[in-house]
Structure 1
Amino acid sequence: MLADRIASAIGESFKIPPPPTIAARVAGGSEIAFSHFKSQDVQFGLSTPSPRQEAFVFNIPLISTRYPVVSIDGRRQSVIQDPGKAYLFDLSSKNEISLETAYNSVRFHIPQTAIDHMGYEKGLPRVGGLSAKFLGQDDLVLYNLALTILLAILKSTQVTTAFVEYIALAFHDHVVHTYGGVRKCGCAGMGGLAPWQIRRACDYIEANLVNDPSIAMLSQECGLSTSYFARAFRTSTGMTPHQWITRRRIERAKSLMAHTTESLAQISVMCGFVDQSHLGRHFLKQESTSPAQWRRRQSGRALFKSEDLEV
């Protein structure tokens, strides 16, 4: 898997334990990876260059960090990396970075194959590569995506596959326009799904809530590309696929809490949540109460109804 390879390569290059890394499978079976790249230990020397490959890395710092040496194909410079800026590295070059500093950042890894396959899906002209005006370009979009995906990296078992895929789609869309020279389409917004596609997607989600349905699976059910499906689904439902999946899981949990005596821990797993605390966090966000409190209220209402029938 790309995530394991990336984590191992970063660990070897920077002499740190393999950082937590997740990946999203996108068009053509290619993947985009996200890593939380962090160290508090100051070391000496430079990082070990990774094998050259047709891929690109965006380093998005979460704290200000001064690197005394950043070497790209032998050209050295001192760089202060600041939050809110994106630092693009072409992995076909020989990249070395001094290890004499503490750092904390999110790393986006996108192979050229992912750029090509996703661009083809969207009907875009081929992007021969990515380039920035200078090392350290203001990019609040990538900074906010980094903050969003960071939660998924740190709690990878508690996020839907569809959520990580959605971030990957948004990341690709942004970088091909900002760093790949592809002009944004000025046409009107795209339409939604056909009624049969909405039914097919929603039925598939209901049948697979516990199995973590992905955007790739849903788009295949509807005969669409992943990028088109994700945008059309949001147009039709007002929600992203992962938001819809989470909402349906909570609705199923409510039904089970109201009509069965299963424990909250059992219901959580039956609805696709990792555990009871995972259900609790999403339930509180949507219902503004805990599952236990909601269940007690439902039990009280059922008691009142039965007493009314006896009168």
Structure 2
Amino acid sequence: MSQPGAYGQRLGQFLRLKETPPALVTRSLRSTELAVTETRNDRPVPGLSGSFAAEDAFLVSLKLRDYPDCELWDDGKYITKADVHAGTTYLYDLKRDPRYVIDKPFHSLHFYIPRSALDNISDQCNAPRIDELDCRVGIAHDDETIRHIGASLRKGLRRPDEANQIFIDHMMLGLTAHVAQTYGGLARKSSEPARGGLASWQAKRACERLESDLGGKLSLQNIATELDLSVSHFSRAFRISVGMPPHQWLLHQRVKAAKQLMTVRDLPLTEIAISAGFANQSHFTRVFSSIVGVSPAAWRRETLGATPDPPPSSSR
């Protein structure tokens, strides 16, 4: 069965990559797929890119490397040449068969956004549905928000086992809303009442559900549905009530659980990391150090006067 959507394997085939590029996928908007794919080829074979089957969807492409004198095609016709600069963003309408000549090294992030995702965002904001996005051929956008989201998601693409699903949901939902507002003219109706935080029982239930799955496999959609809220409303209300986004709150709970486990003096940090929901000891150390300010081993020594933790066994 062929993979739906212009991401992952299909995007790799379009760019004539030998291996499937890394991708992160979320279904946080009523099961609509959103995805980000990182593509890179330092030694491409010159030629025209592949072609996507027409679909009502868009690619938002963040360029990570300069690509001078890029030959652009649209609807089967040569349109123009443009100098593409690292850090800029381009939008492509997949109904129009966007293509380009691959004759230089390239490196990009591609965000896949189907029409249904934009419709869901509009419905949640009580706003008219978006007609079109600004997909003018060869027009670059200097978009700091997309650069920031791209930098955050690249960490997850490099270490997919460390990227919890709630974080992916949160970042892709934010990107889709930003694209809808910035390039589609989405605006909430002025008559829409301001929304506050969660009710106390909702906040308690959401925290219990997040804490029950420290590994982060639970999606924002699951929790929002249980509370009879849209994903975007839930994410916004949770941050108002708790003081941080769900994925950050989850990281703090992992650290809290790890601290409790570290009171068991003979328990290795490798086992503590897995038990507290981290992918491995390296992931545990990075997150713990960023939140607490010292490494887990240092915190354990300072708090308990423990001896240094033995190095992980190489026999595993």
Q: TM-score, normalised by structure 1?
A: 0.90
Q: 1:30 to 1:93 in 2, by over 3 A?
A: same
Residue by residue over 1:116-140, the C-alpha shift from the partner in whole angstroms, topping out at 9 and shown as x without a partner, is: 2232233221113322466212222
CA contact (8 A) 1:55 1:112 kept: yes
Deviates more, 1:282-291 or 1:134-143: 134-143
Following superposition of structure 1 onto structure 2, how do residues 205-220 of structure 1 map, counting pairs within 5 Å?
A: 205-210=210-215, 212-220=217-225
Residue by residue over 1:27-86, the C-alpha shift from the partner in whole angstroms, topping out at 9 and shown as x without a partner, is: 221011101121111322200111111110011111221243110111421121123421
CA contact (8 A) 1:142 1:171 kept: yes
Separation (CA, whole Å) in 2 of partners of 1:3 and 1:284 = 39
Following superposition of structure 1 onto structure 2, how do residues 35-50 of structure 1 map, counting pairs within 5 Å?
A: 35-50=37-52
The alignment partner of 1:208 has SS state of coil
CA contact (8 A) 1:165 1:215 kept: yes
Aligned-pair CA distance for 1:184: 4.8
- The answer for the alignment partner of 1:101 in structure 2 is 104
- The answer for the alignment partner of 1:10 in structure 2 is 11
Residue segments in structure 2 that go unaligned for 5+ positions in a row: 307-316
Give the counterpart of 2:158 among 142, 147, 154.
Answer: 154
CA contact (8 A) 2:40 2:106 kept: yes
Give the counterpart of 2:62 among 53, 57, 60.
Answer: 60
Separation (CA, whole Å) in 1 of partners of 2:118 and 2:69 = 29
Does residue 1:33 correspond to 2:35, yes or no? yes
Separation (CA, whole Å) in 1 of partners of 2:231 and 2:239 = 12
- The answer for the alignment partner of 2:122 in structure 1 is 119
CA contact (8 A) 1:25 1:32 kept: yes
Give the counterpart of 1:296 among 284, 301, 305.
Answer: 301
Deviates more, 1:283-292 or 1:81-90: 81-90
Aligned-pair CA distance for 1:2: 6.2
CA contact (8 A) 1:177 1:184 kept: no
- The answer for the alignment partner of 1:277 in structure 2 is 282
Hey, which of these two has a bigger chunk of helix by percent? 1
What is the identity, as a one-letter code, of the residue corresponding to 1:204?
Answer: R
Aligned-pair CA distance for 1:263: 1.7
Aligned-pair CA distance for 1:190: 3.0
Separation (CA, whole Å) in 2 of partners of 1:109 and 1:127 = 16
Aligned-pair CA distance for 1:112: 0.8
Task: Report the count of equivalent residues.
Answer: 301
Deviates more, 1:2-11 or 1:129-138: 2-11
CA contact (8 A) 2:215 2:278 kept: yes
What is the identity, as a one-letter code, of the residue corresponding to 2:273?
Answer: S
User: Share of identical aligned residues, percent?
Assistant: 29
What is the identity, as a one-letter code, of the residue corresponding to 2:232?
Answer: S
The alignment partner of 2:262 has SS state of helix
Residue by residue over 1:170-194, the C-alpha shift from the partner in whole angstroms, topping out at 9 and shown as x without a partner, is: 1111111111122255678531111
CA contact (8 A) 1:3 1:33 kept: no
Deviates more, 1:223-232 or 1:73-82: 73-82
Deviates more, 1:225-234 or 1:78-87: 78-87
Q: TM-score, normalised by structure 2?
A: 0.89
What is the identity, as a one-letter code, of the residue corresponding to 2:175?
Answer: F
Separation (CA, whole Å) in 2 of partners of 1:185 and 1:132 = 25
Q: 1:155 to 1:83 in 2, by over 3 A?
A: same
Does residue 1:72 correspond to 2:74, yes or no? yes
Separation (CA, whole Å) in 2 of partners of 1:2 and 1:298 = 51
